[in-house]
Amino acid sequence: MPCLLRICTPLALLAFTASIASAQMAYKPASPRTLLRAGQVLDVHTGKETADETVIIEGDHIAGIAPTASTPTKPGDREIDLSGYTVLPGLIDVHTHLTMATNFDPYFELTMTPGKEAILGVENAKTTLEAGFTSVRNVGANGFTDVALRDEINAGHIPGPHMQVSGPPLGITGGHMDENLLPEQYHVVGEGVADGIPAVQHMVRQNIKYGADLIKIGASGGVLSKGDDPQASQYTLEEMQAIVADAHRLGRKVAAHAHGAQAILWASEAGVDSIEHGSYLDDAGIAMMLKHGTYLVPTAYLIDWVQQYGNLPALYQQKMKDVSAVEKQNAIKAIKAGVKVACGTDAAVYPHGLNAHELDVYVNQFGMTPLAAIQTATVNAADLMGWTAHIGSLETGKWADVIAVQGDPLHDIKVLQRVPFVMKSGVIYKDEAQPAAIDKLVATAPTHEPPISENSF
């Protein structure tokens, strides 16, 4: 009998505790609401702008959107007056380098350390978020500093956008992703260098082991690197097929740095998810991208910025001049052919925080409508990241990533270059109209990124 009592007593206690928990859940009050009283809300799918609507936020998600007149304030609600603003989803940049700085001095690159990259990342993440970009892909960082940055943002320790990160980009020996500035006696090799199918498979798996959400590869040479040719393909078709097969099987997408026509063709045939830059894109490459549904990430504004402010070292100047002469026209050709475009900027090649200038290029140089340009940084970018269920539009159930701008971006795309209000996951990080409304960042900030999901230009 004593033995039986020892069994029954814990069971009875468990049942009693469960009944209490059930009762507490039944009477748990609703989460406090934040009501964003918008002048107009932009539906990025259709371009419809609806006046006098309220975006209802509960916790870190959007609970609904309703006419302000039929959404009265309840006890405990917080109201944010955005009646003079256009409200739209937080913007997305699918090609950033948050742990890097705009400094083209080769000596600066040689003296970079993971510690410096981490510190730069903290600063640049805040700048990017406050520019209205609430989600980014970080496509290339040394020492997995972007993994650490993502994790610290998710933990609520520092402000920054939702991040998908690649860690060290994969590349061939002597290629764009290698370290070519020092002579042989130093035996310095880029972290992501891997040659041959077994080696690239190992590198994909290693990057995933250490926290990568996607895989970044160098399919061609680059501009801001020594001794390589942007038009020359680097990885072979077979190597890229092996990379894509492993990455996709393990739930990661692949972004291919590719300037040259052959590299674009092979990378698209291999099944990469996006072509970054695409400078020498030709008809064959366009056809292959259309066949596979491959995204183009143009990184176009950097050309304008570098031409005006870049002051590149001599070893990069001619390559930048050659690429700049063709990239935009080929991007226009691809867009007219129907290739999908996602907004990516290569931020770090120009200063972080100027990301929205990319959309101005799409409208005023590429000929996109303002809505189409906005879609590259919302619904298209969300699709490329595999996060359509969470970001890219203001819809019930999605993360409460919201920005507000003065004026109408469908009439003037440049209004997105100055964003006075930024909310990410229900937390207000910037509100120039009501500075007191800015929330304090706390260590208990919600974490809800999906488990899966440095050389640059």
List pLDDT tens digits, range 147-176. Answer: 999 999 999 999 999 999 999 999 999 999
261-270 vs 283-292: helix axis angle to the nearest 10? 20
Looking at residue 193, what is its pLDDT?
A: 97
Looking at residue 433, what is its pLDDT?
A: 76
User: 434 falls in which pLDDT band (50, 70, 90)?
Assistant: confident
Backbone angles phi, psi at 320, to 5 degrees: -65, -40
Percent of all residues in the chain with a pLDDT value above 70, rounded to a whole number: 89
Looking at residue 5, what is its pLDDT?
A: 38
- How high does pLDDT run on average in the chain? 91
Looking at residue 438, what is its pLDDT?
A: 77
Looking at residue 406, what is its pLDDT?
A: 97
The DSSP letter of residue 306 is I
CA–CA distances in Å: residue 63 to residues 366, 390, 421: 37, 13, 19
Q: Mean pLDDT over residues 400-418, rounded?
A: 98
Token duo for residue 183: 């002579």
Looking at residue 439, what is its pLDDT?
A: 76
Which residues of the chain form CATH 2.30.40.10? 33-90+393-437
Q: Mean pLDDT over residues 208-214, rounded?
A: 98
- 139/276 Cα distance (integer angstroms): 10
Looking at residue 435, what is its pLDDT?
A: 76
Looking at residue 410, what is its pLDDT?
A: 98
- 321/307 Cα distance (integer angstroms): 9
Q: What is the pLDDT of residues 343-401, one digit of tens each?
A: 999 999 999 999 999 999 999 999 999 999 999 999 999 999 999 999 999 999 999 99
- Please say whether the structural domain 33-90+393-437 has been given the CATH code 2.30.40.10: yes
Render 28-60 in DSSP notation, one character per residue.
Answer: PPPPPEEEEEEEEEE-TTT--EEEEEEEEEETT
Q: What is the pLDDT of residues 285-317, one digit of tens each?
A: 999 999 999 999 999 999 999 999 988 999 999
User: 58 falls in which pLDDT band (50, 70, 90)?
Assistant: very high
Which residues of the chain form CATH 3.20.20.140? 91-385
Give the CATH fold of the 91-385 domain: TIM Barrel (3.20.20)
Percent of all residues in the chain with a pLDDT value above 90, rounded to a whole number: 86
Token duo for residue 65: 């959107």
User: 440 falls in which pLDDT band (50, 70, 90)?
Assistant: low
Q: Give which of 280, 263, 180 is closest to 227, Cα–Cα.
A: 180
Query: Which has more confidence, 20 or 402?
Result: 402
- pTM flag (> 0.95): no
Looking at residue 441, what is its pLDDT?
A: 53
User: 32 falls in which pLDDT band (50, 70, 90)?
Assistant: confident
**Residue positions annotated with a catalytic role:** 216, 346
Looking at residue 99, what is its pLDDT?
A: 97
Q: Mean pLDDT over residues 241-263, rounded?
A: 98
